[in-house]
Amino acid sequence: MMLFTEVRGLPVVPLAGAGPLGTVTSLAVDVASGTVSHVLLRRGRFGRETALPWESVHAIGPGTVRVRSATAAESVPPRHDLLGHRVLTNTGTAHGTVLDVAFDTRTARILAVFTTRGELPAGRLLGLGDHALVVRAG
């Protein structure tokens, strides 16, 4: 298990080849499947953000994200960073703000979402948009 905040800022390094490809800026989530779908990274301070599909990740840790391939995703996911997102239930009740997300580094499965109002199990995730993360009312 690892937290999104632990991955942010890690260097992305290819299994074979030269130095780092960039630094992790965020992880994109497919809420429907409850998994991390892409690793978003930036090369240098002013570099363009690139999305690598999760399938290209070989391992995370210690201190790096190692990838099999540096081939960017053909379709880049919408830029929704879960961290700091407002959380609403499907009935419209506010449930705080996302502080962190725990996920399995081998399967990319989301395990839990930690908010300012407590922990939410991954099974309650319904949708993610510009405005909020929507979860099933519990």
* 65-67 and 11-14 strand pairing: parallel
Residue 73 lies in a domain: no
CATH number at residue 40: 2.30.30.240
In a domain, 27, yes or no: yes
Cα distance between residue 123 and residue 111, in whole Å: 8
Q: Are 80 and 28 in contact (CB under 8 A)?
A: yes
Query: Each residue of 15-74: pLDDT tens digit?
Result: 886 778 899 999 999 988 999 999 999 887 777 888 899 999 999 988 999 999 877 766
In a domain, 78, yes or no: no
Q: Does the residue 111 lie in any domain?
A: yes
Q: 50 and 65 in contact (C-beta within 8 Å)?
A: no
Task: Give the start-end residues of each E strand in 55-124.
Answer: 57-60, 65-67, 86-89, 94-103, 110-115, 118-121
Q: Is residue 95 part of a domain?
A: yes
Q: Are residues 13 and 56 in the same domain?
A: yes
> 80 in a domain, yes or no?
no
Whether residues 58 and 93 share a domain: the answer is no
pLDDT of res. 72:
73
* Separation between Cα atoms, residue 32 and residue 4, nearest integer Å: 18
**pLDDT tens sequence across 91-137:** 999 999 999 999 999 999 999 999 999 999 999 999 998 889 999 99
| Residue 33, domain extent | 2-67
HSE of 9 in the Cβ direction (CA atoms, 13 Å)? 3
In a domain, 72, yes or no: no
Count of domains in the chain?
2
21 and 48 share one domain: yes
Predicted TM-score (pTM) of this structure: 0.89
Residue 100 lies in a domain: yes
Tokens of 37: 């779908």
Q: Which pLDDT belongs to residue 92?
A: 92
Identify whether residues 25 and 63 lie together within a single domain: yes
62 and 90 fall within a common domain: no
